[in-house]
Amino acid sequence: MFDGLSVIDADSHKMENPLVFFDYLEPPYRDRLSSQTDRYGQQRLVIHDFNPRTGRNDLERVFPQPDGAGKGAFSAIHPETAIGAIFNRIRIEHMDREGIDGQVLYGSMTLSFEAILDRDLAVACMRAYNDYIAEDCRAYPRRLFPVAYLSLVDIAEAVAELRRASHAASKGNRADRRRRRPSRAPPRGGWEPPTDGGGRSVGRPGAPAGAVEKRSRESRACFRSFYD
């Protein structure tokens, strides 16, 4: 809290515990992900991806790469910072010490998931991560706000996952979920949907009447329920 205002860290990261995360993967995919210590003593995520050349799941991919841009990536992290990034109890202690009321948490392991070639594996990792991070942060509903990960390998699955994750979050233990009634007036200088002259939004050509309002309501509901 600073001068009566909440202080929000809007760009923080989770350092996932792979041994815990793997338990959230559906059993058929658990042997496709593993972790290893490289020659520099750093932990790496190993994904056994689909190999287009062999037609089998034998393409071993290591993230971040031991050499090149990923070399020594984890060595730069201060030990105290890293332990807080893994264990939320320590994270909260650090937040209290620094005067931070809430943190928006992005994934770290998920940066590797977007490169997965196997569609089914990518979708399974997406669902597993969202279950993992929601459960991981559940004990601190007013302090930690995890961001759902959406894989773009399958847009339909990503949309379905956004709805699933937001619905699950809305049913979580969120104390004092007070919401303000949204103003009907558009923000100053904000975008306003085109109308037909009678006050009804028209959206893109050929869109059914009220489609803009319906999509807008659905989008607001999804994001509001997940981030509130």
CA 203 to chain centre: 29
Q: Return the percentage of the chain with pLDDT > 90, whole number.
A: 50
Query: Residue 1 has what pLDDT?
Result: 59
Query: Residue 17 has what pLDDT?
Result: 87
DSSP assignment of 137-173, as one string?
HTT-TTTEEEPPP--TT-HHHHHHHHHHHHHHHHTS-
CA 210 to chain centre: 30
Is residue 162 over pLDDT 70? yes
Average confidence score pLDDT of the chain? 77
Per-residue pLDDT, averaged over 195-223, amounts to 44
Alpha-carbon torsion (25, 152, 55, 59), positive or negative = negative
Per-residue pLDDT, averaged over 202-212, amounts to 42
More confident residue, 56 or 65: 56
Strand spans (E) along 77-125: 102-106
DSSP assignment of 68-83, as one string?
GGGTTTTTTS-HHHHH
Q: 3-class DSSP state for residue 214? A: helix
Query: Residue 78 has what pLDDT?
Result: 73
More confident residue, 189 or 25: 25
Query: Residue 188 has what pLDDT?
Result: 39
Task: With beta carbons less than 8 A apart as the criterion, state whether 142 and 49 touch.
Answer: no
Query: Residue 50 has what pLDDT?
Result: 96
Query: Residue 5 has what pLDDT?
Result: 87
Query: Residue 51 has what pLDDT?
Result: 96
Is residue 186 over pLDDT 50? no
Give the highest mean pLDDT range of 1-15, 32-46, 86-100, 191-205: 86-100
* Least confident span in 29-43, 127-141, 161-175, 186-200: 186-200
More confident residue, 97 or 71: 97
Per-residue pLDDT, averaged over 165-178, amounts to 55
